[in-house]
Amino acid sequence: MKKNKKDFSNEYALVTGASRGLGLEYCKELLKIGYNLVCVSRNTDSLNDLKTSFPNQEIVTYNLDLSKWENNEILCENVKNKNITVLINNAGVGKSGNFLEGSFEKDEQMLSLNIYSLQYLTRFFVKKFKENDRGIILNIGSIIAWHTPGPYFATYYATKSYVYSMSVALDYELKRSKSNVRVKVITPGILNTSFLVSKFNDKEGSSYEKGANVVKFAKKSLKIGLRKKGKSAILVGVKDKVSVFFVRKLWRKLVLWFIYNYQKKRL
């Protein structure tokens, strides 16, 4: 006999970077599960189709650039009274190139979005979730956090290492305090989405043609991530797990050499 499907009709999931790629796929999966949504992106026009496809669920959208500090405060003030039980910190940007040819302004934008915004929202919602001792935060990191520093991608790699370290440490604190609130980090490898910004410009990079299917990844990683139990850091798929295993066995200098040459060819 099948268990009754849980009712999420009075609950909301908040997704940042929701308008395309992995964020958009998470939105679709959450709606299928039954959640209402709060979607945040610099441009939410692409989410209009979801409102048509899921007319019985509320989809609230906010056009906000979370790399601007004040917009994080605006967002939290607007949603503080909603019954949000899931937060997916997906917003992020990656810029590659020679470190010295970049600018601090570009670094600051990356740090603001990949770290400061994520940190602010994580802190706000952990406190909110602890009021009812219930809630899950999924921070989107990267498989590179398991690996090594990345020449020609120095700042981006560093931000993802931060997300990994902070999330795992915070989740451990919560578990040791007997809290039912969870903070997990999902660490995808290469996905077939348009994401990277190359050579420190503002043009969107091309999709990774050989990346993993983003639809399948979103479905599988969300299923694992929404479990109350399980590991703090989530790897999905045999390929990524094997990659992490062997990279950890290789000399760091060899891995650095490979990443240096790989990224240099892409410039």
DSSP states of 31-51: HHHT-EEEEEES--GGGHHHH
User: Per-residue pLDDT averaged across 106-133, rounded?
Assistant: 97
Residue 146 has pLDDT above 90, yes or no: no
Interaxial angle between packed helices 214-225 and 21-33, expressed in degrees from 0 to 180 and rounded to the nearest 10: 50
pLDDT category at 16 given cuts 50, 70, 90 is very high
Alpha-carbon distances of 201 from 68, 224, 225, rounded to whole Å = 19, 35, 33
Residue 198 has pLDDT above 50, yes or no: no
pLDDT category at 193 given cuts 50, 70, 90 is low
pLDDT category at 3 given cuts 50, 70, 90 is low
Where in the chain does DSSP place strands (E)?
A: 12-16, 36-41, 59-63, 84-89, 135-140, 181-186, 233-234
User: What single-letter amino acid sits at 235?
Assistant: L
- The rounded mean pLDDT for the chain is 88
Domain 12-266 adopts which CATH fold? Rossmann fold (3.40.50)
User: Per-residue pLDDT averaged across 170-198, rounded?
Assistant: 85
| Nearest CA among 92, 112, 114, 18 for reference residue 62 | 18
Question: Using an 8 Å Cβ cutoff, are 162 and 115 in contact?
Answer: yes
Question: Using an 8 Å Cβ cutoff, are 193 and 21 in contact?
Answer: yes
**pLDDT > 90 fraction of the chain, expressed in percent and rounded:** 63
User: What single-letter amino acid sits at 71?
Assistant: N
Residue found under tokens 């906000």: 64
**C-alpha–C-alpha distance, residues 177 and 133, integer Å:** 11
Q: Which ranges in 149-237 belong to alpha helices (H)?
A: 154-176, 214-225
Collapsing DSSP states into helix, strand and coil, what is residue 182?
A: strand
pLDDT of residue 195: 57
| Nearest CA among 98, 146, 152 for reference residue 263 | 152
Please give the structure tokens belonging to residue 252.
């760091």
**pLDDT > 70 fraction of the chain, expressed in percent and rounded:** 88
Residue 1 has pLDDT above 90, yes or no: no
Residue 251 has pLDDT above 70, yes or no: no
pLDDT category at 10 given cuts 50, 70, 90 is very high
pTM comes to 0.86
